[in-house]
Amino acid sequence: MQASFDTLSKMRHILIILILLTPLSAWCNTLQGKVVKVADGDTVTIVDEKGDKHRIRLGGIDAPEKDQPYGSESTKNLEWLVYGKGVTIEYDKHDRYGRIVGKVLVNPQGDVFCLAIGCVRKVDAGLEQIKSGLAWHYKKYQKEQSKQDRKLYSEAERNARRKPVGLWVGKERMPPWQWRRK
């Protein structure tokens, strides 16, 4: 009897370790579709294969509002990145407006191919917005990101500030979360 209890205990420990080692993205829901609308620098609408529309808020970033400096540039950049393209959304929550909050990955155009130096990969639209200096890494919600994404987004913002690019060029900037309070 003791041997079977020990075996069960070991199996339980192994299962817990496997769960803890599984990447966060494996626990996320995914959704695929085509971007049919870009509302602003961090919100898009997609249509899935069934024809259903979904509003998506890019997780991990906050972009300038439309009436805010760099708001139209941020929107245009996101349009260039995603409009009319196939995307994969990795998400695990909805916001108070009912939008899906998730990582928007732009599918590569055409056939995917690999070379000795690597494969064509999906592009993280939120990360690209930060690299372009057209969004902030939204630190308030960074705990909802994987450790790797949190690090990538923070480094991207530091690099955009350092260069400077986008909204980091000027001296007068206000984070969108402060702008909305006005």
Q: Which residue has the higher pLDDT, 60 or 115?
A: 60
Let me know if 121 is a catalytic residue.
Answer: no
Active-site residue identified among 90, 99, 128, 157? 99
pLDDT per residue as tens digits for the range 7-66: 766 666 665 665 555 544 455 799 999 999 999 999 999 999 999 999 999 999 999 999
Active-site residue identified among 65, 90, 128, 157? 65
- Please, what is the average pLDDT of the chain? 87
**Per-residue model confidence (pLDDT) at position 70:** 94
Let me know if 57 is a catalytic residue.
Answer: yes
pLDDT per residue as tens digits for the range 79-109: 999 999 999 999 999 999 999 999 999 988 7
Place of tokens 């899906």: 100
pLDDT per residue as tens digits for the range 121-171: 789 999 999 999 999 999 999 999 999 999 999 999 999 999 999 999 988
CA distance 180 to 64: 10
Q: Structural domains in the chain?
A: 23-170 (2.40.50.90)
Residues 97, 45 contacting (CB under 8 angstroms): no
Active-site residue identified among 57, 90, 128, 157? 57
* Res. 175 pLDDT band, cuts 50 70 90: very high
Handedness of CA 21, 26, 154, 137 (dihedral sign): negative
Let me know if 158 is a catalytic residue.
Answer: no
